[in-house]
Amino acid sequence: MALYKTLTVNNTTKVLIWKIEETIIDLQQDTALTETSTARLQSMKSELHQKGFLSIRHLLKKMGYTDSDLVYDEFGKPHLKDGKFISITHSFTFTAIIISDNLPVGIDIEMQRDKILKIAHKFTPIQEYNTIANVTAKISKLTIVWGGKESLYKIYGKKKLRFLEHIFIENFRFDDGKTTGEIRFDGETFAYKIQFLEFEGFTCVFAY
């Protein structure tokens, strides 16, 4: 089974990344699902989504959890029954989870694609990135910004936040591998640390 990478963020927080290389039959082996999860899996029309769903269960197993330990609230945000914090992400052939004993967390994986250049104005002031002449570097930076905002959105866990108006990512250098971000909403400001890494044409960003 293809555990791709494990990152220890701090003493209480870990990130696990899975590269999907197995068949659905392989992923179903030794994977017990609840009735709800079985129905959800069967309703997925995309084989890639099915594989992503199952590989997440293998990541949970690596951390000592089963499918039945994972529950979702009314907004679709995942929670662990023991009270620890979790966030989940899936993009094409990669899935990941972040679990923390004591910190709200969010994670996002994105494939690096030029499509992001067309939608960037919807989630960030695009003029801030016009000084980046190299298109590949601009795609890379914008993907990190999107992933950071998506991670903070997942931490907040409700549906009212707007990426452009309520979620802000501090400027960063690629070499640093980290930055900070804020949620500013309803008269309150929440600050978070953000880390990122790139691999095989994908970007993983997580916040805590």
Q: With 90 as the cut, is the pLDDT of residue 149 above it? A: yes
199 and 131 belong to one structural domain: yes
16 and 99 belong to one structural domain: yes
Three-state DSSP state, 32:
coil
Q: What percent of the chain has pLDDT over 70?
A: 100
Domain-ending residue, one of 71, 103, 135: 103
pTM of the model: 0.96
Q: With 70 as the cut, is the pLDDT of residue 97 above it? A: yes
121 and 162 belong to one structural domain: yes
7 and 99 belong to one structural domain: yes
Range of the domain at 175: 108-207
What mean pLDDT comes out for the span 95-103? 98
131 and 82 belong to one structural domain: no
15 and 96 belong to one structural domain: yes
Q: Measure the CA–CA gap between 111 and 73, rounded to whole angstroms.
A: 27
Domain CATH code at residue 138: 3.90.470.20
* Each residue's pLDDT tens digit, 7-39: 999 999 999 999 999 999 999 998 999 999 999
146 and 195 belong to one structural domain: yes
Q: How far is CA 59 from CA 56, 89, 128, 165, in A?
A: 5, 11, 37, 34
* Each residue's pLDDT tens digit, 154-192: 999 988 899 999 999 999 999 999 999 999 999 999 999
Q: How many domains does the chain have?
A: 2
Q: With 90 as the cut, is the pLDDT of residue 72 above it? A: yes
Which residue has 């945000």 as its token pair? 77
23 and 89 belong to one structural domain: yes
Domain-ending residue, one of 55, 75, 103: 103
Q: With 80 as the cut, is the pLDDT of residue 1 above it? A: no
27 and 99 belong to one structural domain: yes
202 and 128 belong to one structural domain: yes
Q: Measure the CA–CA gap between 208 and 193, rounded to whole angstroms.
A: 5
* Each residue's pLDDT tens digit, 177-186: 999 999 999 9
Which residue has 């899975």 as its token pair? 18
Domain-ending residue, one of 103, 132, 160: 103
